[in-house]
């Protein structure tokens, strides 16, 4: 019977919380500072252009993390630090990269070394051999035939013309469908999707090991993309005990398919190339952590968190994925500090490492701080967290919030969005879950973790994990809007008399089905 009454109890509690007044004076201060005195362009420059690519445990990540800690200290935050969360694996970066076709004619190619692959030990040249390796059986037909070869794995990329805009915003109709969670569906990864992903990663590692054993001179892989933009893969293994793979380029499909067509029509293709990479054997990794201490004697031990992942892929400077989110969250902190608002609860910012490889930074932070989702053994801090807010859907402005199945917070969030309707355009709250980024680490332990609905802009078509995810792809007015709204959410959460309502605690995975 308790299950029947639980939603009603939560909704009644939510309406009680909603009745608490929001300080309009505070909202006006946040709005003015966020929209009129923004520093998002400066922060974004430091995290992208000045830091470079931010692959976890690389020098670029370290530059960005150290700058962030220093800046947060300058803004007056307490306990600003790099906090180690455990072992990630090897760091890696590209020192030199070049590839071009020299026969039947010269053409420079758009390509980058695949992450965590080795170098060529100086310039190399050779004829390209096209191979088809798409499943385990394909490996057998090439065994003993690829020694000292430069091979091209062309795969299958869609290079057809594009008949719709690269950059899009949600329409009112899109948002209405999203609000109807059943009609729109879930964005969580299904077990089947996760299984396919794991199988793909396992096979990719198997191919790396096979090519290394066959003593291939260099691998070239065509990647998805078009018009010179291409999407990086998850790279080779970064584990501390993983063998160093051979040199490998990921290439724009137009250039890879040019070579394939020539070779398949009997015209020999020769390339010259040079790759130099460096591995770093400090295996532990760190998150950026800092706090604005709470001021209420009864509530200051409770915490409101906000965060984004600071790491990126290496093909560009990771502007929309996810310097955008890290910029916004740092700007939120600057807004709250500059306006002089004194939150009742402690506000804690976290910039995560290892998100791109599987949410490593946030998952381990949650496990170390709040409890273990595998056993559901909780730590005292679990009771002290009110909410975690995340940004990681590119440069697009906020259009609402995913409730992550927590219906009880709907009236609260709707009330908080209402004053910003003029800069949101059709504010939307959906019960839907959304997956794939760091709020999932909190949700898995029964903690209120939320991701905002954002306009897609060019995220899926041009910037997410691509070689052109650079500063130019950031929409500064959207970043200003995001920071203003997140600052309001964080401050309102810090001022509530009670913590946000929670969903029932999930069961430990090993207890399900017993």
Q: What are the φ/ψ torsions at residue 286 (nearest 5 degrees)?
A: -135, 150
Strands 248-251 and 218-222: parallel
Which two structure tokens, joined as six digits, stand for 361?
Answer: 């930074």
Domains and CATH numbers, the chain: 25-88+293-511 (3.40.630.10), 91-164+195-280 (3.50.30.30)
Length of the chain: 514
Looking up tokens 């990921």 gives 250
Give the integer Cα–Cα distance in Å for 117 and 139.
20
Assign residue 178 a region (left: φ > 0; alpha: ψ between -120 and 50; beta: otherwise). Answer: alpha
Integer CA distances (angstroms), 60 to 47, 66, 91, 318, in order: 9, 10, 10, 11
Looking up tokens 């999932």 gives 440
pTM value?
0.93
Vertex 330: Cα angle to 395 and 90 (nearest 5): 80
Vertex 420: Cα angle to 416 and 421 (nearest 5): 105
H helix count then E strand count, the chain: 15, 20
- Helix ranges (DSSP H) in 55-122: 59-74
Query: What is the predicted pLDDT for the residue at 17?
Result: 55
Query: What is the predicted pLDDT for the residue at 513?
Result: 47
Which two structure tokens, joined as six digits, stand for 375?
Answer: 């056993």
User: DSSP secondary structure string, 103-135?
Assistant: ESS-EE--EEEPTT----SS-EEEEEEEE---S
Query: What is the predicted pLDDT for the residue at 279?
Result: 98
Enumerate residue ranges in the chain where pLDDT < 50.
Answer: 1-6, 9, 183-185, 512-514
Integer CA distances (angstroms), 246 to 99, 126, 212, 239, in order: 16, 16, 6, 16
Integer CA distances (angstroms), 63 to 47, 320, 328, 470, in order: 9, 18, 18, 17
Omega before 176 cis (within 30°)? no
Query: What is the predicted pLDDT for the residue at 305?
Result: 99
Give the torsion through C-alpha atoms of 368, 371, 377, 380, to 10 deg: 100
Largest Cα–Cα separation, the chain: 79
């Amino acid at each position: 019977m308790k299950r029947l009454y639980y939603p009603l109890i939560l909704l009644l509690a939510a309406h009680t919380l909603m009745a608490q007044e929001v300080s309009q004076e505070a909202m006006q201060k946040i709005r003015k500072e966020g929209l009129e005195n923004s520093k998002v362009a400066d922060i974004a420059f430091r995290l992208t252009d000045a830091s470079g690519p931010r692959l976890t445990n690389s020098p670029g990540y370290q530059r960005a993390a150290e700058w962030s800690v220093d800046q947060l200290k300058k803004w007056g935050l307490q306990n600003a630090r790099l906090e180690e969360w455990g072992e990630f694996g090897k760091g890696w970066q590209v020192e030199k990269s070049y590839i071009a076709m020299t026969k039947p004619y010269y053409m420079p190619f758009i390509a980058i070394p695949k992450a965590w692959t080795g170098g060529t030990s100086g310039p190399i040249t050779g004829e390209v051999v096209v191979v088809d390796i798409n499943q385990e059986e394909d490996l057998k037909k090439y065994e003993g035939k690829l020694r000292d070869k430069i091979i091209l794995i062309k795969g299958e990329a869609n290079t057809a013309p594009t008949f719709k805009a690269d950059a899009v915003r949600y329409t009112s109709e899109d948002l209405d469908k999203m609000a109807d969670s059943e009609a729109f569906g879930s964005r969580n990864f299904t077990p089947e999707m996760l299984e396919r992903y794991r199988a793909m990663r396992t096979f990719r590692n198997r191919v790396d090991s096979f090519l290394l054993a066959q003593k291939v001179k260099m691998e070239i892989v065509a990647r998805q993309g078009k018009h010179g933009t291409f999407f990086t893969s998850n790279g080779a293994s970064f584990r501390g005990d993983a063998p160093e793979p051979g040199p490998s380029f990921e290439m724009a499909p137009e250039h890879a398919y040019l070579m394939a067509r020539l070779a398949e029509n009997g015209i020999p293709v020769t390339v010259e190339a040079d790759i130099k990479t460096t591995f770093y054997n400090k295996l532990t990794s760190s998150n950026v952590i800092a706090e604005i201490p709470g001021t209420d004697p009864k509530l200051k031990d409770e915490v409101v968190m906000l965060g984004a992942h600071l790491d990126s892929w290496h093909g560009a400077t990771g502007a929309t994925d996810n310097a955008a989110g890290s910029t916004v969250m740092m700007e939120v902190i600057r807004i709250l500090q500059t306006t002089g608002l004194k939150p009742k609860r402690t506000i804690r910012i976290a910039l995560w490492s290892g998100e791109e490889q599987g949410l490593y930074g946030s998952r381990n932070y949650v496990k170390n701080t709040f409890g273990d989702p595998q056993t559901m053994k909780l730590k005292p801090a679990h009771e002290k967290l009110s909410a975690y807010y995340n940004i990681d859907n590119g440069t697009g402005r906020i259009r609402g919030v995913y409730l992550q199945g927590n219906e009880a917070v709907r009236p609260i969030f709707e009330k908080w969005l209402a004053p910003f309707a003029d800069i949101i355009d059709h504010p939307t709250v959906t019960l839907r879950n959304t997956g794939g980024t760091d709020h999932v680490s909190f949700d898995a332990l029964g903690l209120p973790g939320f991701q905002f609905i954002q306009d897609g802009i060019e995220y899926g078509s041009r910037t997410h994990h691509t070689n052109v995810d650079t500063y130019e792809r950031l929409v500064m007015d959207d970043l200003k809007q995001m920071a203003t709204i997140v600052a309001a959410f964080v401050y309102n959460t810090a001022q509530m008399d009670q913590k946000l309502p929670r969903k029932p605690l999930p069961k430990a995975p090993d207890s399900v089905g017993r």
